[in-house]
């Protein structure tokens, strides 16, 4: 797989015509991908590729994500692109990125995803652990928006390294960024700064699974 630095240089080359021969800087690529310059610099240093933002960029530019990541030509991907996988989709379940959400009925469907998306979910071996639900509310914007579909790995429940998780509290079902405190309690953080951070005891939180990726509104 190409490194994040190599991908950044490819993006600069792709958008060069839009900049009328002006020099393109990393901050310009960060703006194009919709990533803050601070997060962009951290990702580049750690070679952490922002797959969701990169997929959106490739879609807008009609570029194969496999070409961007692996240098594979579109022609070589025709057969693979036509291959799809299924994951469990709880179409009537909405985890709140806002004030709390819950459901009494869980209608299970199958959600079709293209092969090139599978690696973002951890590969074929992880698909048995993947479930998809809906997002409601705005407390996790711009990371997640209303009507996004998020993919949860129900085997990944360790909060030690933090991250974004689906969890249940007495207030309902939530999608939140989690951070463990030194005192053992859990900070439940919203990416939208309008919402305040909550702190709960681990006994008050049921971790459903780690959010590993998302689809935008598929309606």
Mind listing the pLDDT tens digit for each residue in 147-181? 788 899 999 998 888 899 999 988 888 899 999 99
- Contact at 8 Å (CB) between 43 and 82? no
Chain region(s) in the chain for CATH 1.10.260: 4-80
Identify the CATH assignment for 84-215 out of 1.10.10.10, 3.50.50.60, 3.60.10.10, 2.10.109.10.
Answer: 2.10.109.10
List residues bridging with 136 in a β-sheet. 96
- Which among 17-26, 119-128, 197-206 has the top mean pLDDT? 197-206
Q: Is the pLDDT of residue 70 over 60?
A: yes
Q: How far apart are CA 116 and CA 79, in angstroms?
A: 11
Q: How many CB atoms lie within 10 A of CB 143?
A: 19
Q: Binning pLDDT at 50, 70 and 90, where does residue 21 land?
A: low
What is the per-residue pLDDT for 166? Answer: 92
Classify 76 as helix, strand or coil: helix
Chain region(s) in the chain for CATH 2.10.109.10: 84-215
What is the per-residue pLDDT for 79? Answer: 52
Tokens of 18: 């839009």
Q: Percent of the chain, pLDDT > 90?
A: 21
Q: Is the pLDDT of residue 137 over 50?
A: yes
More confident residue, 93 or 120: 120
Classify 53 as helix, strand or coil: helix
Q: Is the pLDDT of residue 18 over 50?
A: yes
What is the 3-state secondary structure of 180-191? ECCCCCEEEECC
Q: Is the dihedral of CA 130, 117, 160, 149 positive or negative?
A: negative
Q: Is the pLDDT of residue 57 over 70?
A: yes
Provide the mean pLDDT of the chain.
81
The tens digit of pLDDT for each residue in 173-200 reads 889 999 999 998 999 999 998 999 999 9
Does this model's pTM top 0.85? no
Tokens of 96: 């709140």
Q: Is the pLDDT of residue 69 over 90?
A: no
CATH number of 4-80: 1.10.260
């Amino acid at each position: 797989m190409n490194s994040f630095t190599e991908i950044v240089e490819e993006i600069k080359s792709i958008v060069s015509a839009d900049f009328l021969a002006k020099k393109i800087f990393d901050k310009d690529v960060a703006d194009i991908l919709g990533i803050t310059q601070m997060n962009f610099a951290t990702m580049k240093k750690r070679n952490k590729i922002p797959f969701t933002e990169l997929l959106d960029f490739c879609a807008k530019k009609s570029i194969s994500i496999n070409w961007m990541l692996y240098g594979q030509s579109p022609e070589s991907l025709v057969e693979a692109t036509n291959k799809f996988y299924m994951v469990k989709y709880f179409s009537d379940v909405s985890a709140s990125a806002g004030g709390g959400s819950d459901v009494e009925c869980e209608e299970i469907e199958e959600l079709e995803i293209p092969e090139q998306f599978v690696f973002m979910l951890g590969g074929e071996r992880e698909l048995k652990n993947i479930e998809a639900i809906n997002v409601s509310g705005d407390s996790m914007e711009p990371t997640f928006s209303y009507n996004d579909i998020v993919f949860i790995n129900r085997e990944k429940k360790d909060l030690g390294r933090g991250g974004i998780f689906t969890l249940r509290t007495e207030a309902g079902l939530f999608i939140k960024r989690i951070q463990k405190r030194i005192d053992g309690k859990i900070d439940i953080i919203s990416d939208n700064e309008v919402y305040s951070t909550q702190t709960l005891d681990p006994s008050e939180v049921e971790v459903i699974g780690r959010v590993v990726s998302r689809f935008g509104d598929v309606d």
